Amino acid sequence: MKILLNSTQVSYFILGAYVDTGLFRYLFFLIVLCLYVMIIVSNVLLIAVICMNRSLHEPMYLFVCSLFVNELYGSTGLFPSLMLNILSNVHIVSASFCLLQVFCLYSYGGVEFFTLAMMSYDRYLAICHPLQYNTRITATKIQWLIAVTWLYPFFNNIFLVYSRTAPLQLCGNIINKVYCDNYSIIRLSCFDTSLNNIIGLAHMFTVIFCLIMLILYTYMRILRVCVMGSKQARQKAFSTCVPHLISLLNFSTGAFFEIVQSRFNMSHIPNIARIVLSLYWLTCQPLVNPLLYGLQMSKIRIVYKNLVFRRKV
């Protein structure tokens, strides 16, 4: 795919945030490689644990499994190109790859937020309506909810990237980041894109507002049950909700940093700090989630220990 550049076609973008680090590039490469291997191993291992054991084929664990699959998807959209560019002297990516990366990373963010919202709804039903839980959250409903969490962000970003961004006529091809970013491409447009920005922001904040309202409502109800319930009920709610809340806050913080530094002038902040902030939401979440859900959820821990012990025997 090619994008118009000053009435001609450009086939590549330059990622301008990379700096010459000399021999340190190999150290940075090893660090990023280790992070990527950790993400793959931890998420694949927990996906396998959930899939192999029928006792974990419950709504909560299926949503967690969907979350782990999304971590692998988002990480694969970032880490291979990041490692390649760290070792390269020329930080150039093709226009088609750049748009594909924008689609992958943005759809990853959408799936992540939708999945976390669906998980809060699941916890609300389990804690506030335990007797009706099995009738309200059937297998068919789970399939529909997981399908929506994946399909809506995918189709939305197909429209965003290939219908609104790709046809733009650009007056530059330098993106001041270490990966391709949709807003950075739009800022290169030769024409005023204020209307596109307003429509995009309005759509994004409408979706985010609805999901946040759902999450706030569910946790207000859960908090009420915890305050009025027994000590055992509070402990159960605490053990199942804490990993989800930490994951939600971690992702929301990273996404907020990314939106702020993409939309506003952050030239006064050192380049390395801007790079770290832009990578936080794409790297921290895939690393933290396996630890949160693998260590905090006792049922996953027990199943994992049983599988490992059985294999050793």
Separation between Cα atoms, residue 54 and residue 69, nearest integer Å: 18
Residue 3 has pLDDT above 80, yes or no: no
Per-residue pLDDT reduced to its tens digit, 122-131:
988 888 888 8
Residue 86 has pLDDT above 70, yes or no: yes
Q: Which pLDDT band holds residue 294 (cuts at 50, 70, 90)?
A: confident
User: What pLDDT does residue 71 have?
Assistant: 95
- Cβ count near 110 (within 10 Å): 23
User: What pLDDT does residue 5 have?
Assistant: 47
Beta strands 12-15 and 8-10 are unpaired
Number of H helices, E strands in the chain: 10, 6
* Average pLDDT of span 91-117: 93
The encoded tokens of residue 298 equal 């006792």
- Cβ count near 13 (within 10 Å): 26
User: What pLDDT does residue 233 have?
Assistant: 65
Separation between Cα atoms, residue 216 and residue 222, nearest integer Å: 10
Residue 190 has pLDDT above 70, yes or no: yes
The encoded tokens of residue 183 equal 């807003």
Give residue limits of the domains in the chain: 3-312
Residue 231 has pLDDT above 80, yes or no: no
Residue 306 has pLDDT above 80, yes or no: no
Tell me if 306 sits within 8 A of 290, measured CB to CB: no
Beta strands 169-170 and 174-175 are unpaired
User: Is 248 in a helix, a strand, or coil?
Assistant: helix
User: What pLDDT does residue 229 have?
Assistant: 67
Helices (H), the chain: 24-52, 59-87, 95-128, 133-136, 139-159, 182-186, 194-228, 231-263, 271-296, 298-312
Residue 102 has pLDDT above 90, yes or no: yes
Tell me if 189 sits within 8 A of 171, measured CB to CB: yes
* Average pLDDT of span 2-7: 50
- Cβ count near 181 (within 10 Å): 21
For residues 257 and 203, the model is more confident at: 257
* Average pLDDT of span 33-58: 88
Q: Which residues contact 2 (CB under 8 A, 6 or more apart)?
A: 9, 10, 11, 95, 96
Residue 299 has pLDDT above 90, yes or no: no
What rounded mean pLDDT belongs to the chain? 84
Residue 267 has pLDDT above 90, yes or no: no
Q: Which of 109, 89, 96, 42 is nearest to 291 (CA)?
A: 42
Prediction pTM value: 0.88
The encoded tokens of residue 235 equal 């402990």
Q: Which residues contact 160 (CB under 8 A, 6 or more apart)?
A: 106, 182, 200
For residues 260 and 92, the model is more confident at: 92
Residues composing the chain: 313
Residue spans of beta strands (DSSP E) within the chain: 3-5, 8-10, 12-15, 92-94, 169-170, 174-175
Q: 3-312: CATH homologous superfamily?
A: Rhodopsin 7-helix transmembrane proteins (1.20.1070.10)
Per-residue pLDDT reduced to its tens digit, 9-30:
667 899 988 887 778 889 999 9
Identify the residue whose tokens are 């990480």.
75
Q: Which pLDDT band holds residue 2 (cuts at 50, 70, 90)?
A: low
Residue 33 has pLDDT above 90, yes or no: yes
Residue 70's alpha-carbon distances to 39, 107, 146, 313, in angstroms, are 11, 9, 11, 33
